[in-house]
Structure 1
Amino acid sequence: MLTVDFTHFPLTAGDTLLDLGCGEGRHVINAYIAADITAVGVDLSATDLRTAQARQRPFAKVGGHFLLQQADALQLPFADHSFDKIICSEVLEHLPDYAGALREIQRVLKPGGLLAISVPRAWPEKICWAFSAEYHQVEGGHIRIFDSGQLNGEIEQLGFRRYKRHWAHALHAPFWWLKCALWQRQDQSRLIRAYHKLLVWDLMQKPWLTQTLEKLLNPLMGKSVVMYYRTEESQ
C-alpha cells in the first residue's frame, strides 16, 4: 500500500533516492522497480529490514541498485547532499525529535531535490486517540498528532517549498477507528476481520468501486496527509 504517489514525485533514471524509515520496504522497493535508480532504505528495525530485503529479491534486475541499512534518522550515515529525492512516510509521528530528523533530511538532500513527507491527518488520528489510549501508548507508537499546516511551516522554514498536497487511505480511517474502539477484543471481532479482508481485496484487486470511492473520500477523511517539496537550488 503506497502512500506517496509517484505521479507527483517523478523518478528519473540515475536518481539516488532515500526512503527514511523504510520499514518493510513498500516505497523503496516500488521506487527501485519503477526506474533505474539507486534506491536506499534506512530503518532502526533490523527485523523490518530483513523483511524488506526478502521482498525485494524477486524484483532484482539489471539496472539500478538496491541498498538497505540500519540507521538512526538523527544521525544518517551519508554525506551532505547525497540524494536527489527523499521519502519520509509515516515516520515523524514516531520520533521524539522530529525536527532533528528534518534537519538531517535537509542536510543529505541535494539542492533542487525533491522530498515527500506523509503523517497521519489530525482529525482521524484524534478519533483513534479518543477511542484507545493503548493505540498511541504502545512501544513504537504515535507520540504526537501533527497539525499539517504547522508542520508545513516548519519544513518550509528549512528552505523547502511545497508544490503538492493530497490525502490518502480514506478507507483505512474507519478500520482504525473500529480497531481502537474494540482494542481489547479486536482479535475476536468478526467486523474487524471482515473489514480487513475488504482492504486486502482492494489492495490486491484494485476494483473500480473501492478505488473510486477512496478517491472521492480522501479529501474528506483520508487518514494520511501527503506533502511534496522541492529544495532551493542553492543552499
Structure 2
Amino acid sequence: MLTVDFDKLPVGPGDRVLDLGAGGGRHAFEVLRRGADVVAFDQDAGEMESVAAMFAAMDKEGEIPAGARAETVVGDALDMPFPDAYFDQVIASEVLEHIPDDLAAMAEIVRVLKPGGQVAVTVPSFLPERVCWALSEDYHTAPGGHIRIYTLAELRAKLKSSGLEVGGHHHAHGLHTPYWWLKCAVGVNDDRNPLAKAYHELLVWDIMKRPAVTRIAEAVLNPLIGKSVVVYGRKPA
C-alpha cells in the first residue's frame, strides 16, 4: 500500500533515494523495484532487520533490476549519518508526526538532499486525525505515537521555512479512514470487534485485488477524508 505517487516523485536507475522512517519498508521496496538505489532508514532495529530480509528475498526472486542496490540503516532522524547533498530523492512517509522537533528533522532532510533533488512528505490528514484523537485517547498517547496534528497549511509552511520549494499535494487512503474511526470508537487495541475485523478484511481484499469499484470509491473519498496528505517539494538548485 503506497502513499507516495511515483508519477509525481519519479525514481529510477542512477538515483539514490532515502526512505526516512521506512518502517515496514513499503516505499523502499517500490523504489528498489524501479531500479533506484535505496537506503531504508529507521530508529527501529527490528523493523530494519525485517526490511533487510525482504531485500534479500527480492534479490533471490529476481525482483531487483540489475545494478540497483539496497541497504538498511538504524539511526536518529535528527542526526543522520549521511554526507550533505547525498540523495537525489527523500521520502518521509508518516514519520514527522512522531518527532517532537519536526523542524530539525526537516532541516536534516534538506541537508542530505542534493540541490535540485525532490522530496515527498506524508502525514495524517487533519480531519481524519482530529476525529481519531477525539474518539480515542489511546490512539495518540501510546509510546511512540502521534504527538501533533498537522494542517496542510502548517506542513507546507514548515517545509518552506526549512528551505524547500513546495509544490503540489494530494490525499490518499480514503477507504482507510472509516476503519480507523471505527477502531477508535470500539477500542484501538480491541482486535476482536466483528465490525472492525470485517472492515479490515475488506481493506486487505482491496489491497490484494484492487477492483475498479473500490478504486473509484477511494478516488471520490480521498479529497474528502483521505487518511494521509502527501506534499511534494524540491531543494532549490
Q: Give the TM-score, by structure 2 length.
A: 0.95
* Letter in structure 2 aligned against 1:40: V
Q: Quickly say closer, same or farther: Cα 1:68–1:181, change in 2 above 3 A.
A: same
Q: Structure 1 residue aligned with 2:193, among 189, 206, 219?
A: 189
- Identical counterparts, % of pairs: 45
Write the distance in 2 (CA, Å) between the matches of 1:115 and 1:98: 15
Q: Structure 2 residue aligned with 1:138, among 113, 120, 142?
A: 142
Superposed displacement of residue 64, structure 1: 0.8
Q: Map 1:35-54 to 2 at 5 A.
A: 35=35, 37-54=36-53
Deviations 1:13-56 (A, max 9, x none): 20000000001100011100112x21001000011111111222
Q: Map 1:10-159 to 2 at 5 A.
A: 10-35=10-35, 37-60=36-59, 61=64, 62-159=66-163
Q: Give the TM-score, by structure 1 length.
A: 0.96
Q: Is the 8 A contact 2:138 2:188 kept in 1?
A: no
Aligned to 1:229: 233
Aligned to 1:164: 168
Aligned to 2:220: 216
How many residue pairs were aligned? Answer: 232
Write the distance in 2 (CA, Å) between the matches of 1:56 and 1:84: 21
* Letter in structure 1 aligned against 2:17: L
Write the distance in 2 (CA, Å) between the matches of 1:77 and 1:138: 28
Q: CA RMSD in A?
A: 1.1
Superposed displacement of residue 150, structure 1: 1.3
Write the distance in 2 (CA, Å) between the matches of 1:72 and 1:103: 13
Structure 2, unaligned stretches of length 5 or more? Answer: none
Q: Quickly say closer, same or farther: Cα 1:162–1:184, change in 2 above 3 A.
A: closer
Superposed displacement of residue 187, structure 1: 1.8
Structure 1, unaligned stretches of length 5 or more? Answer: none
Deviations 1:69-114 (A, max 9, x none): 1010000000000000000000000011111100100110000000
Q: Quickly say closer, same or farther: Cα 1:112–1:173, change in 2 above 3 A.
A: same
Q: Is the 8 A contact 2:117 2:234 kept in 1?
A: yes
* Letter in structure 1 aligned against 2:44: S
Write the distance in 2 (CA, Å) between the matches of 1:155 and 1:228: 10
Write the distance in 2 (CA, Å) between the matches of 1:54 and 1:2: 20
Superposed displacement of residue 186, structure 1: 2.5
The more displaced of 183-192 and 16-25 is: 183-192
Write the distance in 1 (CA, Å) between the matches of 2:209 and 2:75: 35
The more displaced of 208-217 and 151-160 is: 151-160
Write the distance in 2 (CA, Å) between the matches of 1:162 and 1:215: 23
* Letter in structure 1 aligned against 2:9: F
Deviations 1:150-198 (A, max 9, x none): 1101111222122220000000000000100111672221000000000
